[in-house]
Chain A
């Protein structure tokens, strides 16, 4: 009996190895060369090609606008029998729900969304962890105590990041304020640069961002201010300004998803990995003084060990109301639907 089992499993594995390559597609919201968000997802795609070789075929399309136009793209890949389709922007949610229902044989993975179907799962990273760490650096380095934050859309993902950053700032510098400007775009270098300049005009000496382009970094560099990036090491764009960035590392996670799909163990889970899972991390440049870098690294270790949560109470909101008392922290559900600012943020959620 045991032998038959072994024989069958060997056969199955052989069959899986000889089967046609898994066709994987990625849909990006900005150009692959945006130097940020889409570039990092594309790194993840290249990681798949390196790891799986002939077992996968990958394709991608860049600059796909969010909204109904995206539907044709998802449909297009599903119609060609792509087995696994990654949509990497929040605004693809409606399209992915619709197309996943029409094509039950394909597997869909939506980054940063909250809706699932039988063959649509979601995935994201606990970016608030490295955001908090980058806030520590910002709080330690600002001199004017005005920190500018160029933010994309007032959705929970972005708000959560701003709050975590502000919590980090507050941790080392209770005087400093985080000023938020909304750009209402993920990728529009001109607009994002302008937004950063408006923050520099009101006295900010450090700029950070939740944007896909490095334009805010360049604005800081031009004015001799400091900057904290997002998505990737952006030092090439602002060599004298760039201090650090919360970064994405999608390779291992994409590998995990592909492996599950190949082995038939994929489920429509809602994956949310943190620093300890390797999906997100903090990148610190040489411009950060050793003392600050050491603090950041020890706090990072505390987060990995589960000893520290960026939203450990007490946490007050902008109205001064106590949101989390000493010893409390938000649940995942509360984090995922966050729609208020902590008390050292200046700006409105519109």
Chain B
């Protein structure tokens, strides 16, 4: 008897909705068991532990999505995920695996800081300043992605490795600058640049809980949706992704498409970095992103690279992050347990994906007879 993993020939239509929903349900169930054990250990009473677990769930699911403060927090966590997710979709459509969203986000933030504090420091008009910084941030992300693009196009290197490695390089560049030459002279030696001037900050609403970068992300998603569905680029890039050979025969320049896909992908992530700086951070510091660039890979993937779906999935993931914060803040859950939860959610989602696409086949024949 042998067990084989093979691709399903037909993937049922409903599975694209059902699988993620069931996966999340599974993750929540597993989390529930851990929470119950944890609270039982703390309270020493099973019925109290059940009640506490239920309360914690309610908190985690209602605050991020059904409370006016919570929704703003969710939207703000969503913005960087959406930008990078949208950027990645641009390359993933062509099956170019840009894993460098994190680094491109960092480079966008770095360039934005350069613009706000040094290059454009004499610009006084907020509108002009914000446009200039956005362009600079996008350019930096694009240039950072141009490196793996050229290497892939002309030397056939694997973009996964190169983009991933460049993340670390970008993070170290930021660290070098904030610990060294860009350290705020008025910061009493604490690492971090000087704060952005007022004209380089995005307008905020609701006591500073919300900034207009959200609308930029939404607009961008709509533009990309149009590009993917209605333009020649959208169609051709799909062809390149599905069948590069066929694309080549039909006269599409793979080199050109590869370079453009990665550069635009990086530019969008870089713009996200600039928006994050202008909207929330206002000061470049070590640990600028808690891994948004990596989470965005999953966001783009779960959204099946559909820009509108990316917004939605980014919103849900933002809510997950906010809900986790609530568990820590009001239920005294340790940080490590939160990391376990996030791992469980990803594990279930990716596992569900695999189960939907593949199946196990148990064949009765003896292994020997197969030889």
Residues of A within 8 A of B (CB): 25, 31-32, 59-63, 65-69, 71-73, 75-77, 79-80, 90-91, 94, 98, 102-103, 114, 153-156, 159, 184, 337, 339, 349-350
Instruction: For the complex, give the distance between the alpha carbons of A272 and B332 in Å.
Output: 29
How many residue pairs at the A-B interface have CB separations less than 8 Å? 84
- Chain B residues with CB below 8 A from A350, complex form: 179-180
Query: Which 10 pairs across A and B sit closest by C-beta, in order of nearness?
Result: A63-B335, A68-B281, A102-B207, A155-B189, A154-B189, A67-B285, A79-B69, A61-B328, A61-B329, A155-B190
**Which residue of chain B has the shortest Cβ distance to A98 in the bound complex?**
B208
A339 CA to B325 CA, complexed, in Å: 36
Q: Is the CB of B334 closer than 8 A to any CB of chain A? A: yes
Residues of A within 8 A of B282 (CB): 68, 94
Range of interface residues on chain B? 20 to 34
User: Known: A31-B334, A77-B329, A155-B189. Is A94-B290 also a contact (CB below 8 A)?
Assistant: no
Q: Mark B253-294, 1 if CB is under 8 A from A, else 0.
A: 000000000000000000000000000111101111010000
Give 14 pairs: A residue, B residue, CB < 8 Å, sorted on A.
A67-B286, A68-B285, A69-B287, A75-B73, A75-B209, A76-B325, A91-B190, A102-B207, A102-B208, A103-B207, A114-B188, A153-B191, A155-B190, A339-B188
Given known A-B contacts A68-B282, A98-B208, A350-B180, A339 and B189 have beta carbons under 8 A apart: yes
Which label, helix, strand, loop or mixed, suits the secondary structure of the B interface?
Answer: loop
CB neighbours (8 Å) of A73 from chain B are 325, 329
A16 to B60, CA, bound (A): 33
Contact: A80 with B330, CB < 8 Å? yes
Shortest C-beta distance, A69 to chain B (Å), equals 6
Any chain A CB within 8 A of the CB of B306? no
The residue in chain B whose Cβ has the minimal distance to the Cβ of A154 is: B189
**Is A155 a contact partner of B188 (Cβ separation < 8 A)?**
yes
Q: Given A67-B281, A94-B195, A350-B179, do A59 and B332 touch, yes or no (CB 8 Å)?
A: yes
**Which residue of A is nearest B68, CB measured?**
A79
Docked pose: A94 CA to B336 CA in angstroms: 26
Q: Which residues of B contact A62 (CB under 8 A)?
A: 328, 334-335
Interface centre among A67, A91, A350 (most CB of B within 10 A): A67
What is the distance, in angstroms, from B345's C-beta to the closest C-beta of chain A? Answer: 19
For B336, the chain A residues whose CB sits under 8 A away are: 31
Q: Which of A66, A103, A153 contacts B189 (CB 8 A)?
A: A153
In angstroms, Cα B188 to Cα A120, docked, is 20
User: Could you tell me the distance between the alpha carbons of A156 and B189 in the complex, rounded to whole angstroms?
Assistant: 7
| Cα A105 to Cα B328 with chains together (Å) | 23
A244 to B130, CA, bound (A): 54
Residues A94 and B283 in contact, CB atoms below 8 Å apart: yes
Among candidates B190, B280, B335, residue contacting A31 with C-beta atoms closer than 8 Å: B335
- A61→B283 CA distance, assembly (Å): 23
* A159 to B334 alpha-carbon distance, docked (Å): 32
Closest B residue, CB atoms, query A71: B280
